[in-house]
Amino acid sequence: MKKINESFICINCWKNIPQALKTCRNHCPHCFVSLHVDSDIPGDRATDCGGRMYPTAYEIKNGQLKICFQCKVCGKLHRNKRADDDEIDRLDEYIKIYKETLY
């Protein structure tokens, strides 16, 4: 399986998002919104749901931060590793705001 790591324009804040350095990015490092494009493996681009995904929580496991996302269309839950350039200082605030969007 080929993993796809590409730049994109964020569907929420409209910023130009470059490729991630160490992982396949599918969320905006500024506002944390993404499209549901991956199935079970980051970068597989194996789903055609296309719904917006919002962060709902995060966890630190083995010293690594993982952000939990939920798709507004199909409800799928997915975890992504934090990218080095993710602006996590506002992540708690965004989670609170986006939970109102999801429910």
Q: Which two tokens stand for residue 2?
A: 């080929």
Read off the pLDDT of residues 48-89 as tens digits, 9 standing for 90 and up. 898 999 999 999 989 999 999 999 999 999 888 888 889 999
> Would you say residue 20 has pLDDT above 90?
no
Q: Model-level pTM?
A: 0.84
Residue 1's pLDDT band (boundaries 50, 70, 90)?
Answer: low
- For 29, 36, 89, 96, the CA distances from 101, given in Å and listed in that order, are 19, 16, 20, 9
